[in-house]
A and B are shown apart, each in its own frame.
Chain A
Amino acid sequence: SQQGEEDPQALSIQEGENATMNCSYKTSINNLQWYRQNSGRGLVHLILIRSNEREKHSGRLRVTLDTSKKSSSLLITASRAADTASYFCANQAGTALIFGKGTTLSVSS
């Protein structure tokens, strides 16, 4: 399987804390994307980092990419209860997206 892996599988934090999720993938990539999925809703695109980029920021999100280690991390700063969701990384080689199994984040107030 080409499916990547997220780590940890589940994460519980308090509001205001930072959350870090890691992702490993198996193939060479054009880009790596992070998506969020709330309970009962579809996937929402969060951020895309290209294979020639090492770090990218968007609001409270910070993504890093290490192509030599085939890994990426997503940092959510100053978390809120509304950040409670499942987070997936997806690597794109060609036109297809290959999703990992996801990290379930719970943020309690």
Chain B
Amino acid sequence: EAGVAQSPRYKIIEKRQSVAFWCNPISGHATLYWYQQILGQGPKLLIQFQNNGVVDDSQLPKDRFSAERLKGVDSTLKIQPAKLEDSAVYLCASSLGGSAMHNEQFFGPGTRLTVL
């Protein structure tokens, strides 16, 4: 079974530039998550989709971050404009369902973003 795919794996940009990350979840997984992991910390949820609808985006900095999941499959996360503090690994995860209480999440390899 193919895992969660993410691209690019690495990205270096200058502050105030824009960047986009792409995620392809495991086939059949209804729920997709984007996490931000700053060096030395645990992942922090940015946004959760159930199919193509947003379930939780309470921790997404909406002035600069946006995400979409068209057709309920692939997802993109965009930062515009980027700040130095956005340097982090952006992890995408998927699970079979979001409404059930006991769902294992499967994580992609992440995109390491460096903002100079």
Instruction: Write the residues of chain A forming the contact surface with B, with a CB cutoff of 8 angstroms.
Output: 3, 30-31, 33, 35, 41-45, 48, 50, 88, 90, 92, 95-102
Residue in A31, A33, A43 whose CB lies within 8 Å of B91: A43
Q: Is the CB of B42 within 8 A of A3?
A: yes
Q: Which residues of A contact B31 (CB under 8 A)?
A: 95
Complex formed: what's the CA distance from A92 to B48 in Å? 14
Q: Is the CB of A88 within 8 A of B103?
A: no
Q: Which residues of A contact B55 (CB under 8 A)?
A: 95
Residue in B45, B48, B99, B109 whose CB lies within 8 Å of A42: B109
Q: How many residues of B contact A (CB 8 A)?
A: 26
Number of A-B contacts (CB under 8 A): 55
Complex formed: what's the CA distance from A3 to B36 in Å? 14
Proximity string of chain B (90-108) to chain A, C-beta cutoff 8 Å, 1 when within and 0 when not: 0101000011011111111
